[in-house]
A and B are shown apart, each in its own frame.
Chain A
């Protein structure tokens, strides 16, 4: 839309944009300011909008709960594990669904797509029972294995691979590539942007996951970050400094991650929404 706006209209637009940006970022900013201000006990009512920087809360957090580093490692293992599986599984099946003809293909893909509408809350009870049966409860496997079954990535990779020209595949065949060779040498390199977007998305989603982990995990040393941080509230009811530090420390990695991979991120949001 070509900009033909008067000075006062432009002022109005900029005011609206800056105000909404502040509203958008304020809660996170307020959390960080509190986390980096030495608060022992109840915070003061007057918010320190520009704090006297202090790592006091973080020191007490890491000294007070030996589990916090465990939670970080657990979250890394779960999010990293699930993401690695997805990068391989979804690209393989996305390729087959996009470019190959085989009996049952449409039925399988239709089944996968139709379950995108099923809320995960439906499967919670059976997942709990299955995990209990196989003695997976209270282990990270209870999070990783069901995590690998999120079907969105299959859909995303199929969408992307469909847009790749089929001639490349034919050319590789003529050059003597086997089936796996085509996948490995042609499809995989071309999919890098989509795989990156999928990986980033899957990682963040699983890092932030809460409902299933809070159900599946019991002992504090096995918690993931989200579950651990939620429990800090009960444990340190009167020491808000520790809670603020714990919550920020769980949010910071994802924020840094976003700032580094911004483009892939926004591309992933866009790609996920493109209709077939």
Chain B
């Protein structure tokens, strides 16, 4: 025993602070949330099991004419567009800045990354004002070309589209930085060999660059998918009271059910639906994009 402490005591001491906060604020809450998702939880009386036990999961989908189903659909539409555009735009821009001089590359990387350090709340707020129907910049642009003003955020048919567009127009900073790093580590001999075989720039890009950065693509797809599944701040400030069901997302539903109605059971059930979606998607993406190239 004394020996064990002497040998490993320091190791445990080193991990103790992290493991303590991790257990109290991550591990335990995650397990407890799973329990709560099968309970009716009251701050005063504590938890009581639902009958049948899975009722919160049923309620999650059937409450208010199935608003959660629309929320999932909206989230998936938003994600499909933002993930695709982030990957494509990130890949193209990183490829374009790669051949530039070191200084120029650093400049562009910084210029693209700069907006990403401000909170998504403030970015969302700025877009809300750009979209303002009376005095926003978007309608100013339309007026310049003679188009009638659009109610970007209050028209239920286009509100989700406007929000998605604002995300698509946000240059994917992380993708550019990571692609840029990945491209920098590809050995130049590969390109030299391809040149000897008479390959042009586009062919070199498509046949060498793109396959060799596949693992970065995989990582980014997972990263951006998770981030877009969890979209909240942008919606919260752009359409504060929502535009009917057309702008509800998974997290706005979790927020509304959990912290406006204090229905922790349903909110936790919905959070686990989100968790499962993220898990399934990550596994699927890892399989689909599993890198078969080593270098």
Contact = CB atoms under 8 A, between A and B. Distances in A.
Interface of A: 1-5, 13, 16-17, 20-21, 23-25, 27-28, 30-31, 34, 42-47, 85, 88-90, 92-93, 95-97, 100-103, 105, 108, 111-112, 115, 117-119, 121-130, 132, 145-146, 148-149, 151, 154, 179-180, 183, 204, 207-211, 215, 226, 229-230, 233, 240, 243-244, 247, 250-251, 254-255, 257-259, 262, 265-266, 269-270, 273, 275
A96 B24 contact: no
B137 A126 contact: no
Q: Is the interface of B mostly helix, strand, loop or mixed?
A: helix
B240 A233 contact: yes
A146 B135 contact: no
Contact of A149 (B25, B191, B255): B25
B14 A230 contact: no
26 contacts: A1-B99, A1-B209, A17-B97, A23-B171, A24-B114, A24-B115, A27-B127, A88-B17, A89-B17, A93-B14, A102-B11, A111-B22, A117-B282, A122-B271, A125-B41, A125-B264, A127-B25, A149-B26, A179-B10, A183-B14, A210-B236, A243-B125, A258-B117, A262-B110, A265-B117, A266-B177
Given A2-B191, A43-B135, A96-B15, A229 B171 contact: no
A107 B150 CA distance: 56
A207 B113 contact: no
A135 to B, nearest CB: 13
A102 B8 contact: yes
Given A1-B209, A93-B18, A126 B126 contact: no
Contacts, number: 264
Contact of B140 (A47, A105, A204): A47
Contact of A208 (B15, B98, B120): B120
Contact of A251 (B17, B119, B139, B177): B119
A16 to B, nearest CB: 6
Interface in B168-207: 169-171, 174, 177-178, 181, 183, 188, 191, 195, 201, 204-205
A243 B26 CA distance: 35
A118 B99 contact: no
Interface residues of B, number: 96
Given A111-B27, A118-B275, A266-B177, A20 B236 contact: no
Nearest to A32: B126
3 cross-chain pairs, A with B, having the tightest CB-CB distances, nearest first: A208-B119, A149-B25, A126-B29
Contacts of A85: 17, 21
Interface stretch (B30-38, B64-72, B80-88, B156-164): B30-38
B72 to A, nearest CB: 14
A87 to B, nearest CB: 12
B14 to A, nearest CB: 4
B169 A118 contact: no
Given A45-B134, A125-B267, A255-B114, A27 B99 contact: no
A93 B204 CA distance: 44
Contacts of B60: none
Given A129-B43, A208-B118, A211-B251, 13 more contacts: A24-B170, A25-B114, A45-B140, A88-B17, A112-B22, A123-B29, A123-B33, A125-B268, A209-B119, A250-B122, A255-B117, A266-B113, A270-B178
B130 interface: yes
B119 A122 contact: no
Contacts of B11: 96, 100-102, 105
B59 interface: no
A251 B134 contact: no
B236 to A, nearest CB: 7
Interface string B105-123: 0001111111101111111
B126 A28 contact: yes
Given A25-B114, A265-B113, A1 B204 contact: yes
Given A179-B10, A275-B219, A126 B171 contact: no
B272 interface: yes
B41 A273 contact: no
Interface string B88-111: 010001001111000000001111
A46 B258 contact: no
Most chain A CB within 10 A, of B115, B117, B120, B205, is at B117
Given A117-B282, A257-B117, A269-B174, A128 B169 contact: no
Nearest to A112: B22
B192 to A, nearest CB: 8
B129 interface: yes
Contact of B119 (A90, A207, A244): A207
A108 B23 CA distance: 10
B264 to A, nearest CB: 4
Contacts of A255: 114, 117-118
A102 B258 CA distance: 41
Contacts of A275: 215, 219
A84 B236 CA distance: 30
